[in-house]
A = this chain, B = another copy of it.
Amino acid sequence: MSSSKRQMSIGMNILGFGAHSAAWREAEAPAGALTDLDYFSHIARVSERGTLDAIFLADGPALAGDVSRQPSGRLEPTVLLTAIALATQHIGVIATASSTFNDPYNLARRLASVDHLSGGRAAWNVVTTYNDAAAQNFGQAGSALHAERYGRAEEFVEVVQKLWDSWEDDAIVGDAARGVFADPAKVHTIDHVGQHFSVRGPLNVSRSPQGRPVIVQAGSSEGGKTLGSRYADAIFTTQTTLADGLAFYQEMKNRARAWGRNPEHLKIMPGLSTVIGSTEAEAQARFDRLNAYLGESTLAQQIAFRIGIPLDELDLDAELPWQRIGPVSEFKGSHGFLEAQLNLARREKLSVRELSRRILVGHRLIVGTPEQVADSLEQWFLAGAADGFNIMPDMFPSGVEVFVDEVVPLLRKRGVFRHEYAGSTLRDHLGLPHPRSQYERTNQAVSA
């Protein structure tokens, strides 16, 4: 029965020069890498050598941070991932795009186009984008409220799915001799009229290889959970303790079931940042080297930023100032990241400084050996806290190389990860079915 043994999925998250904000200082890649296809193609090809499910690009439509100190400016994901898909054969490509700052017709079409060109390897990571700088690039003074963003997001996804379904799989007849291009009974207007959008359709590109590109959702707030459990194929989540991971996994599967879905078709993929060395000491030295570029307090700044308290008002060697931190639901930013941090700090009674070394870009961090990373992945997977993982190495390309060359073989040996790709689409890799068009009529004669 080993061939049918449940296997984990793994996504590789390409965050600039790496998840550690000082990664670029090591100069493993030149400063121009962020606009250089060779840089991204190398990471994708290494990931493909490791039979990972997908590479993933985060995104937001604004310049974030201080350009003098932080690598800034990045290529638009649907465009970059088209290029990466053509440099690879198997691996999925997941593009983040904002439901707040796009139109559903244009985005549905671009994603379907990427799916066509990649032979069925495209996915959309739905984000609602919470920063004011983005809003100010689109005629708004500041970011809309959490509930408003998620209301729009839910309708946006509904419209996108209708558009993807507007051409049935076999709509194209392609009979040049008779002059019949497509069957008009299998190409549908969607006539959507909702609170945020009125979209007539059909989409102006035929149905793509996956039918619908994979939908990924990464918010763990109440709004994010509602959206994700109803529409997503995979959830990228931040879970910092196994207990939280187990609870979240169960909750999301239950929510999917409540929507009438097969819970196996909703994949739960917690994030994990990695700093890997041959020994624990080596990994720690690598982490220390990266941290040294930033100075003592910069790591703690990520905590200060999330909880909304200035760094100089925090005692780094004390626990978090719990009395000053209000309910998570009142925060404007990512509720998932904040909650995960607070949970970890509370459960393990961590000081601000300790907490800051257990989190990277908002996610759980392991500084350790390939065995320690593989152990943790296997543990979470077998315990039922994860169907897969979204891996965020500290630094590229060494972080993905060591993961593929040292961690993946261990996972394969333990029988929890594939040796080769079994199918050709991202849906195949993730174990998701090919969706039927919602406009398809069963057992009904259709005149061409």
Chain B residues contacting A140 (CB-CB under 8 Å) are: 198
- The digit string for A383-413, where 1 denotes a CB below 8 A from any CB of B, is 0000000000000000000000000000000
| Shortest Cβ distance from A141 into B: residue | B198
Chain B residues contacting A114 (CB-CB under 8 Å) are: 79
B80 touches A117 (CB 8 A): yes
Chain B residues contacting A105 (CB-CB under 8 Å) are: 61, 101, 137-138
Interface stretch (choices A175-183, A265-273, A329-337, A371-379): A175-183
- The digit string for A294-308, where 1 denotes a CB below 8 A from any CB of B, is 000000000000000
Nearest 4 A/B pairs, CB to CB: A31-B174, A136-B200, A73-B206, A67-B182
**Residues of A79-129 contacting chain B, CB below 8 A:** 79-80, 82-83, 86-87, 101-103, 105-106, 109-110, 113-114, 116-117
A199 touches B75 (CB 8 A): no
Which of B32, B67, B117 touches A37 (beta carbons < 8 Å)?
Answer: B117
A204 touches B63 (CB 8 A): yes
Copies of this chain, how many? 2
A184 beta carbon closer than 8 Å to chain B? yes
Chain B residues contacting A182 (CB-CB under 8 Å) are: 67-68, 72-73
**Residues of A52-80 contacting chain B, CB below 8 A:** 60-64, 66-76, 78-80
Inter-chain CA distance A111–B114, complex, in Å, is 16
Inter-chain CA distance A60–B109, complex, in Å, is 11
A259 beta carbon closer than 8 Å to chain B? no
Inter-chain CA distance A136–B199, complex, in Å, is 6
Chain B residues contacting A345 (CB-CB under 8 Å) are: none
B138 touches A199 (CB 8 A): yes
Chain B residues contacting A37 (CB-CB under 8 Å) are: 86, 117
Which of B71, B113, B175, B206 touches A181 (beta carbons < 8 Å)?
Answer: B71
B73 touches A30 (CB 8 A): no
A235 beta carbon closer than 8 Å to chain B? no
User: How many A residues have CB within 8 A of the partner chain?
Assistant: 78
A170 beta carbon closer than 8 Å to chain B? no
Interface stretch (choices A21-29, A144-152, A276-284, A431-439): A21-29
Chain B residues contacting A83 (CB-CB under 8 Å) are: 82-83, 86, 117
A350 beta carbon closer than 8 Å to chain B? no
Chain B residues contacting A64 (CB-CB under 8 Å) are: 204
Which of B72, B79, B187 touches A79 (beta carbons < 8 Å)?
Answer: B79
Residues on A facing B (Cβ under 8 Å): 24-27, 30-32, 34-35, 37, 60-64, 66-76, 78-80, 82-83, 86-87, 101-103, 105-106, 109-110, 113-114, 116-117, 133, 136-140, 167, 171-177, 179-184, 187, 197-206, 208, 293, 448
Beyond contacts A74-B205, A86-B87: 6 other A-B pairs, Cβ-Cβ < 8 A, are A72-B206, A73-B203, A73-B204, A76-B205, A105-B137, A105-B138
Which of B30, B67, B79, B116 touches A117 (beta carbons < 8 Å)?
Answer: B79
Chain B residues contacting A72 (CB-CB under 8 Å) are: 181-182, 187, 204, 206
A73 touches B31 (CB 8 A): no
Which of B62, B102, B187 touches A204 (beta carbons < 8 Å)?
Answer: B62
B204 touches A174 (CB 8 A): no
Chain B residues contacting A79 (CB-CB under 8 Å) are: 78-79, 82, 110, 113-114, 117
A25 touches B80 (CB 8 A): no
Chain B residues contacting A171 (CB-CB under 8 Å) are: 67
Inter-chain CA distance A60–B114, complex, in Å, is 18
A66 touches B31 (CB 8 A): no
A75 touches B197 (CB 8 A): no
Inter-chain CA distance A402–B266, complex, in Å, is 52
Distance in Å: Cβ of A278 to nearest Cβ of chain B: 25
Which of B66, B117, B197 touches A184 (beta carbons < 8 Å)?
Answer: B66
Inter-chain CA distance A103–B138, complex, in Å, is 8
Evaluate whether A198 and B61 lie within 8 angstroms (CB atoms) in the complex, with A79-B110, A181-B69 already known: no
- A–B Cβ pairs within 8 angstroms, 19 of them: A27-B176, A30-B174, A32-B172, A35-B206, A62-B204, A63-B202, A64-B204, A72-B187, A73-B182, A74-B205, A76-B109, A76-B113, A79-B113, A79-B117, A83-B117, A86-B86, A102-B106, A140-B198, A179-B293
Distance in Å: Cβ of A301 to nearest Cβ of chain B: 15
